[in-house]
Amino acid sequence: MSVPPPAPPILDKLLLPPFPGVVYDEDDPFAEKRFQKELQFRMVGAIERNDLKLLTFLTNQDVDTNATILFVKTPLIHAIDQEEPDIHIIRHLLTSQADPNQSDTTPWKQRPIHLAVAKGLFEVVRSLLSHGTDVNGKDAGEMTALHYAARFGHDRLALYLIENGADVNTRDNCGRSAIHRAVEERHLNIVKILLEAGASVNEEDNFGWTPIFHAVMWNDVDVVRFLISCGASVNHKSKLMNTPLHTVVCRIRRENSVIVLQTCFDFYKRSRRIPSEEFKFILQNRRDTYFEILKDIINAGADLDVKNASGERPIHLSEKEIFTKYLVQAGATINLDMLLKDIFDSGQITLTGRTEQFRKWMIIEYQQQFSLIRQARKCIRSCLAMTRNIAHAVEPLPLPPALKAYLKVDDPVECV
């Protein structure tokens, strides 16, 4: 039985034009274009197989390294988008005139550096920057590579981008800078990096939300405390005149949901108000740490009776009895109109569903709020609010421990 001869190596078939199955007629005006398309087709295979030898051959044949392949990509973006990107392939494309600033043609308009940063490819980012990539280049949503580093939690890349000229205060098309994106994903280390690099702790987005609003929405008590320690204003007002206290007592309000939908990281989804993963996280995340955040914000000197554009105070919006009780104990005012409207009118939405015991408690609290001891506590706490840490300011006062606990409102019996 005769043994068939071995098949020739694939590369040997490609060493010289014409390629198999390709008619290359020099007199045909479209021959060069067809030949270039064949080169590009082979280039896709070389990238996907990490075949540097074949890619080198193709670039020597003047394959267009900036062509649109696979409908929407550039060769460089396709190389970075591989499951295991080959740095040698990427560097060869860069040295073969691949444009490091050319974006894809998807609705996102991502540049190579955006994709590389999102995937955490440090060496790829370094190669891109060494070949002239604009470190502040923007995608369709006007986000830079630093926005991506903040969103995906790549500390080392965030530092490297800043060292190479990334602007920490560049805003995307919904007004959010990198610090907003870092807070959304609860990346405390990157928040610290950005603040040390000059980011503003009270930077507003298009809706007037500062980073602390995001920390409240995403239920991150550690980030809330850190932002407060760095000077974040707990009385900052959004475009609708809401403060962080309005937000924490009633997160899942229509106006908050609209803001989350219109500012999500995914440009395509936010431009069409498609529910994102961030929005689903907020709906599903019902941990008890919101009460801790409420206490931290109040302890930092939040105005308990501030009104938003609709005339609502935080106590009107409170969605939990424990929130309402703590607000009252800390000094929020219960006025007669509120008592009549929210306690006796069952048609109102603000305090419906309350227990009868809670309704009786509200009536008692309305009367007790005018007592001397309550007024004294409210006055002292108001004076200490300027310290941005009422509990800490109470400690050195020459008072008995029980009275200090009363001033700090840390007796659980009062608010349960």
Q: What is the pLDDT of residue 346?
A: 44
**pLDDT tens figures, 164-187:** 999 999 999 999 999 999 999 999
Residue type, 27: D
How many whole angstroms separate alpha carbon 369 and alpha carbon 132? 66
Q: What is the pLDDT of residue 90?
A: 99
What phi, psi does 79 have (nearest 5°)?
Answer: -65, -40
Interval 322-340 mean pLDDT: 87
Is residue 165 within 8 A of residue 145, CB to CB? The reply is no
How many whole angstroms separate alpha carbon 293 and alpha carbon 223? 10
74 SS3 class? coil
pLDDT over 80 (residue 237): yes
User: 46 in a domain, yes or no?
Assistant: yes
| CATH classification of the domain holding 22 | 1.25.40.20
Question: CA neighbours within 13 Å on the CB side: how many for 280?
Answer: 4
Is residue 204 within 8 A of residue 175, CB to CB? The reply is yes
Query: What band does 26 get if pLDDT is binned at 50, 70 and 90?
Result: low
Q: What percent of the chain has pLDDT over 90?
A: 73
Q: What is the pLDDT of residue 233?
A: 98
Q: What is the pLDDT of residue 241?
A: 98
Interval 20-30 mean pLDDT: 62
Query: What band does 24 get if pLDDT is binned at 50, 70 and 90?
Result: low
What phi, psi does 73 have (nearest 5°)?
Answer: -105, 160
pLDDT over 70 (residue 340): no
User: 228 in a domain, yes or no?
Assistant: no
Supply the mean pLDDT for the chain.
89
The residue range of the domain holding 57 is: 7-106
296 SS3 class? helix
User: 13 in a domain, yes or no?
Assistant: yes
Query: What band does 282 get if pLDDT is binned at 50, 70 and 90?
Result: confident
- Tell the burial category of 378 from Cβ atoms under 10 Å away from its Cβ (0-12, 13-18, 19+): middle
Q: What is the pLDDT of residue 272?
A: 86
pLDDT over 70 (residue 223): yes
User: 16 in a domain, yes or no?
Assistant: yes
Q: Which position has the higher pLDDT, 346 or 357?
A: 357
The radius of gyration computed from the CA coordinates of the chain, to the nearest angstrom, equals 30
Query: What band does 288 get if pLDDT is binned at 50, 70 and 90?
Result: low
> Which of 17-26, 276-285, 294-303, 312-321 is predicted most confidently?
294-303
Helix then strand then coil, % of the chain, to nearest 5: 55, 0, 45
**pLDDT tens figures, 126-172:** 999 999 999 999 999 999 999 999 999 999 999 999 999 999 999 99
Interval 22-49 mean pLDDT: 84
Is residue 86 within 8 A of residue 109, CB to CB? The reply is no
Q: How many domains does the chain have?
A: 1
pLDDT over 50 (residue 203): yes
| pTM assigned to the model | 0.88
User: 18 in a domain, yes or no?
Assistant: yes
Long-range contacts of 9-17 (CB under 8 A, 24+ apart): 11/53, 11/54, 11/57, 14/42, 14/54, 14/57, 15/57, 17/61
User: 96 in a domain, yes or no?
Assistant: yes
User: 164 in a domain, yes or no?
Assistant: no
**pLDDT tens figures, 377-413:** 999 999 999 999 999 999 999 999 999 999 999 765 4
User: 194 in a domain, yes or no?
Assistant: no
